[in-house]
Amino acid sequence: MYSEASWEGGNQSYQGEFILLGVADRPNLEMLLFSIILICYTMTLLGNTTIIVVSRLDPHLHTPMYFFLSNLSFLDLCYTTSLDPQMLVNFWSKSKAISYAGCAAELFISLALGSVECILLAAMACDRYAAVCHPLRYTSIMSPSLCFKMAAISWVSGFGNSVAQTIMTLRLPRCGRNRVDHFFCEVPILIKLACVDTTLNEAGLFVATVLFLLVPLGLIIISYGYIVAAVLRIRSAEGRRKAFNTCASHLVVVLLFYGPAICSYIQPPSNSSTRDRGKMMSLFYTSVTTMLNPLIYTLRNKEVHRALRRLINRNSTA
């Protein structure tokens, strides 16, 4: 069994690597998490790759909704690949070490893609608002150029935030501390390793959290306020059902992503139980949510079902 104390000495003083403690003191839980993450990662690769391929190959899905969905699927593929393989290695092996460069890469890529997803989900909410509230003008409002600009803003702003946060975090002196009480390298956890005043870093993290979590969430809430009002004005039950179905998948994805992310980044000083809860929340929005996203968007989506059948029939007759 491993405990936090068991890492003292040896590699702890070597600043070329970090020790990702995770749940090293509970090997049975490690094996359970290894199995869960392996299943989630495999399902994420299959599900999101399927959505990207189908959206690209089927002309019927060349719409703003599936343009954003393809972006989300590609993002989730990169996001989970930046974290899950290293986590699987750490769960399986006795050594919990990750190189400084590996930790920096995890920190930068995961933070960038997480920030992009926050903005992209808000862009998708605007798309759903235009589809429900202005159906006759939908294609003119959500033009290809506007969709491209919204996606570009999501990616550029997300990576810009990550550059600033990563540089500020990695410049902090740690005075020999390299034991990370987490499954992967994340800004709040690395800030806690610093042996100097981190007020500026914490203020920067708070501002980034507001800009990339709370502001997009506020825009999503406002969009859905208008959507609900528009749906309630529809006279027929069938019309209300169809309007609701166009937004239900996106709304579920928003709840699954933003809920754990906010709990992870906005929480009071933690004791051991809340630290464990925070770690599990991080696992949820980095691994479980990325697996569920393609399932949520395809299980009840008749357009995707028809597109899959067309591709299967095309390949079988070729």
> Which residue bears the tokens 């994805």?
253
Question: Higher-confidence residue: 9 or 97?
Answer: 97
What distance in Å separates the CA atoms of residue 1 and residue 199, rounded to the nearest whole number? 36
Model confidence at 100: pLDDT above 60: yes
Q: Residue 84 corresponds to which tokens in the numbers above?
A: 């899950």
Residue type, 229: A
**pLDDT tens by residue, 187-221:** 888 998 888 989 999 999 899 989 998 999 999 99
What distance in Å separates the CA atoms of residue 295 and residue 47, rounded to the nearest whole number? 7
Backbone angles phi, psi at 182, to 5 degrees: -165, 175
Rg (CA), the chain: 21
> pLDDT band for position 126 (50/70/90)?
very high
> pLDDT band for position 29 (50/70/90)?
confident
3 state SS of 302? helix
Question: Higher-confidence residue: 131 or 280?
Answer: 131
Ordered by where they begin, the domains of the chain are 4-305 (1.20.1070.10)
pLDDT score for 301: 72
What distance in Å separates the CA atoms of residue 187 and residue 202, rounded to the nearest whole number? 10
**pLDDT tens by residue, 38-96:** 999 999 999 999 899 888 888 888 889 999 999 999 999 999 999 999 989 888 888 88
Give the C-alpha distances (Å, rounded to integers) separating 99 from 4, 81, 95.
Answer: 19, 17, 12
Maximum CA extent, the chain: 71
What distance in Å separates the CA atoms of residue 79 and residue 287, rounded to the nearest whole number? 9
What distance in Å separates the CA atoms of residue 59 and residue 176, rounded to the nearest whole number? 56
CA terminus-to-terminus distance, the chain:
56
Displacement of CA 46 from its chain's centroid (Å)? 17
Q: Residue 302 corresponds to which tokens in the numbers above?
A: 């008749």
What distance in Å separates the CA atoms of residue 28 and residue 1, rounded to the nearest whole number? 10
What distance in Å separates the CA atoms of residue 61 and residue 73, rounded to the nearest whole number? 14
Pairing outcome for strands 17-20 and 97-99: antiparallel
